[in-house]
Structure 1
Amino acid sequence: MAKKVLPLLLPPLLLAALGLAGLLLLCLPTRDVREPPAFKYGIVLDAGSSHTSMFVYKWPADKENDTGIVGQHSSCHVQGGGISSYADNPSGAGRSLVECLEQALRDVPRDRHASTPLYLGATAGMRLLNLRSPEAAAAVLAAVGQTLAQYPFDFRGARILSGQDEGVFGWVTANYLLENLIKYSWVGRWFRPRKGTLGAMDLGGASTQITFETSSPVEDPANEVHLRLYGQHYRVYTHSFLCYGQDQVLQRLLASALQGSSDPDLCRALVSQLFNVSTCGFSRCSFDGVFQPPLAGSFIAFSAFYRTVEFLRTKMGLPVATLQQLDAAVETTCKQTWEELQARAPGPLDRLANSCAAATFVQQLLSRGYGFDERTFGGLAFQRQAADTAVGWALGYMLNLTNLVPSDPPGLRKGLQRGAWSVALLLFGALLLAALALGLRQVRSAKAQRAI
């Protein structure tokens, strides 16, 4: 008898098990669970006047549109001179980048290659080459562009940056990394930190830039830039100077340094010729008749500013906390004989030979050129990095061209909506009732057949 009833009850029992399992699953607590974030990458080649550097940046792909997220993943120093030094051999400029590009292939995961933007920005060296020979500059850019386009990244062009762009992007980078541009949420309201922004100062092989936020009237609109970042408006003054414009003076200066004459007064006199402060058609100027509003707030100085001051501070062991100490450190360095300098600061001889010239130039640029005094110098920090990322124009350039790094939708494991959950509950409940009804029907049918 049992053998005859069991096959009849098997279908309703299976339906009942399925319905019961569904009800149990629906009763389990659920919540949204964020998946481990994937990462996006971006690559910027900083083609400076004396060398090229590659920076690989990394950020969570599901980031919200805030700041303080993007960081430096890796970097690479291209061997040889800047791409402008290949004016007579454009193809060599492209080949010089290959070693670092091969590193980028390893640093960026293969599945992210096609979606990784790749940029090359050239600065003062190429600006000068473009002034002397636009055809040669175009040939160099075409050669490096051809090389970059051969890699599986999303190559978005190679171009020459203006001095103004270089200054503004450096300012964006510094304040982005130091979280001066970040917005905080508090009870549903957004606000900026009260500490404000820092001014940014860059010094490369052939140009220098100063950029800072200002509220005073700018008499020369060409040096004023309006930015809107994260819903906030910034009005900044920026200016770029080609600091190696007077080649003859610098040749004399470097010749004096290389001869080791140990004469700081001669060195200072030669450098001071680079800063013409005798003429000014505005209410106030920096040098060469260029308007500059009063220095406002604190500043961060990077690139060659940092390297020069760090040499005085660490290699020479001299204090540079005040402008007076910086002057004294420069004078001490320039009074060293070549043998004394080598003994005190062993290192690459080419940089060591230029240490007096570079230190004097930085000291004169800060005091005579930009007008720093003891009070404003106290708000000047010399830094190479912030948040483990090199400070320079490259990150700000990428943030600008990628629209502040647009985000992918966050990856979530979603639970059922309440309405869908209710429908599923009713469905599995109906399945249990149908199984019960079918089972009863099968039992009654079996009893009726047995009665006959």
Structure 2
Amino acid sequence: MRQRGGAAAVSGGRAESISEKIQRNRGIILIISVPLLLVAFVLFLMPRSPAEPVLVGVGRKTMPGGGGDAGSKTYAVIFDAGSSGSRVHVYCFDKNLDLLPIGKEIELFVQKKPGLSSFAENPQEAANSLIPLLEKAEAIVPLGLREKTPVRVGATAGLRALGTEKSEQILQEVRDLLQDKSSLKSQPDWVTVLDGTQEGAFQWVTINYLLGNLGKTYSSTVGVVDLGGGSVQMAYAISEKDAVKAPQVSSGEDLYVKKLFLKGTEYHLYVHSYLHYGLLAARAEILKAGDGESSCILDGHRGAYKYGGNEYTASASPSGASFSKCRTEAVRALKVDEPACTHMKCTFGGVWNGGGGDGQKNLFVASFFFDRAAEAGFVDPKKAVAKVKPSDFEEAAKRACKLNINDAKATYPLVSDDILPYLCMDLVYQFTLLVDGFAVEPYQEITLVKKVQFGDAFVEAAWPLGSAIEAVSSL
């Protein structure tokens, strides 16, 4: 009697053993198993792709992409403690360091004025000013991930201008605040005054990351000018040949060229931060040159300007504001003809300009440049990006400088009362900075950027994203 299916047989009333089955079907097994073994052997011998390095911190070792199991999320909280205000950014990444949405947005971004430097005489009050931002940031991070989520505070030019003693007192209060009242992961050295070149480098990483340029040749990246309140940074990738030509700097000064390894590519990044030449600091530099009256202040305004713990007379000259006279004051403040320039070519204040090249041709200009352009009415404030020329700032400045304070108030409804007296000065300075300082041609097209499109979302074009990438990569 034979069972159907041939899977088993009865012989002499005894069930066939497994070894007997194998022996009887050895030919079929051999035919099936040999090809499978060959495929497995070939797969074993194939080279495996190493994990692609995503970021190296500025001048640091190669770091792999964010850790975690497939599908895991990693958060980072970054405070930008600028001279004009404090801002918090919360980012969420997948294991490949691609940004993931936080709710309906790609990031949490909240800001608050004034900045930490405004509390120079009360360090504890400075730290407490961050509490509302901290609470909103913590609420975004899932409870189970908070103790693993890095929180960093990067103070910029505003605190740098206060000097070491006062800035360190404020930073220590911030460290204590995070240690005592935050559930996020903090370390003392994560609360610091950012080096100006580090700020510029992070900004360059942010914009090129969002544009999808990292990993490409240096000539495929864009240059960045970031005009903050206390300082202005320029950063762009240069060739290795030009990097070798970088002038030597004195001990303690920032190097002109930083090496970065990003998505498997080495970049030589020219980056320089000009302290005292951010928009708010530059006002003080321009007013210093006057004798109590300025051709950059709108007619009808008399007052004082406070910056960095100092107060400057800020009153219009009897003849009112003048574009041409204000230009002269701005050029003088920039020290464009600084005799200390010992290099082949300088920007201003005796600083090497990096040599130019393909990495600088496509220039993205951020922060206060966008703000004033929107307030002056030559870019749409609702748009995240705008194509303009330096000459647009010149034309806007000429229009603003002709007005008295009352006419300007009616003409520029988007300009707040505290900015209005300085509108002529700000626009003249921005044009002068681009054309005389950075040698941008007046009719060269540049990109004003508030946010950069990333997939279907827009992300703030600010240095904290570059810092967040480094923080998550280091976990």
Measured in 1, the distance between the counterparts of 2:295 and 2:442 equals: 29
Equivalent residue for 1:207, pick from 222, 231, 237: 231
Equivalent residue for 2:465, pick from 395, 401, 420: 395
SS at match of 2:388: coil
Alignment of 1:8-407 (within 5 A): 37-60=71-94, 63-64=95-96, 67=98, 72-78=106-112, 80-130=113-163, 134-149=164-179, 150-156=181-187, 157-182=190-215, 192=216, 196-215=220-239, 216-217=242-243, 218-221=245-248, 222-242=255-275, 243=277, 244=281, 247=284, 249-250=286-287, 252=290, 253=294, 256-257=297-298, 258-259=301-302, 261-278=320-337, 279=339, 280-295=341-356, 296-314=360-378, 321-347=388-414, 348-374=416-442, 377-378=444-445, 380-386=446-452, 387=454, 388-403=458-473
Q: What residue identity is the alignment partner of 1:383?
A: V
| CA shift digits 1:215-255 (9 cap, x unpaired) | 12433252111111111000111111111378463354597
Q: What residue identity is the alignment partner of 1:44?
A: I
Cα 1:68–1:371 change in 2 (3 A) is farther
SS at match of 1:153: coil
Deviation at residue 353 of structure 1 after TM alignment:
2.4
Q: What residue identity is the alignment partner of 2:246?
A: E
**The structure with more helix, counted as a fraction of residues:** 1
Q: What residue identity is the alignment partner of 1:370?
A: F
TM-score, normalization by structure 1: 0.72
SS at match of 1:113: helix
Q: CA RMSD in A?
A: 2.7
- Counting aligned pairs with the same residue, the percent is 26
Measured in 2, the distance between the counterparts of 1:271 and 1:143 equals: 37
| CA shift digits 1:140-174 (9 cap, x unpaired) | 11111111222100113200111111111110111
Aligned residues: 352
Cα 1:172–1:231 change in 2 (3 A) is same
CA contact (8 A) 1:129 1:137 kept: yes
Cα 1:194–1:135 change in 2 (3 A) is closer
Cα 1:344–1:316 change in 2 (3 A) is farther
In our comparison, the structure showing a higher alpha carbon Rg is 1
1:433 corresponds to: none
Q: What residue identity is the alignment partner of 1:40?
A: T
- 211-220 vs 278-287, which moves further: 211-220
Deviation at residue 330 of structure 1 after TM alignment:
1.4
Unpaired runs of at least 5, structure 1:
1-34, 183-191, 407-452
Measured in 1, the distance between the counterparts of 2:268 and 2:114 equals: 36
Measured in 1, the distance between the counterparts of 2:274 and 2:392 equals: 26
1:28 corresponds to: none
Q: What residue identity is the alignment partner of 1:256?
A: I
Measured in 2, the distance between the counterparts of 1:235 and 1:340 equals: 49
| CA shift digits 1:275-320 (9 cap, x unpaired) | 2222221110001111113433201111111112222334899x98
Cα 1:226–1:87 change in 2 (3 A) is same
Q: What residue identity is the alignment partner of 1:264?
A: F
Measured in 2, the distance between the counterparts of 1:50 and 1:321 equals: 25
Cα 1:372–1:167 change in 2 (3 A) is same
Deviation at residue 51 of structure 1 after TM alignment:
0.9
CA contact (8 A) 2:76 2:471 kept: no
- 220-229 vs 159-168, which moves further: 220-229
Measured in 2, the distance between the counterparts of 1:254 and 1:144 equals: 41
Deviation at residue 38 of structure 1 after TM alignment:
4.4
CA contact (8 A) 2:93 2:99 kept: no
SS at match of 1:237: strand
Greater RCO, CA 8 A, separation 6+: 1
CA contact (8 A) 1:68 1:177 kept: no
Measured in 2, the distance between the counterparts of 1:69 and 1:118 equals: 18
1:427 corresponds to: none
TM-score, normalization by structure 2: 0.69
CA contact (8 A) 1:246 1:274 kept: no
SS at match of 2:147: coil
CA contact (8 A) 2:223 2:361 kept: yes
Unpaired runs of at least 5, structure 2:
1-68, 249-254, 303-315
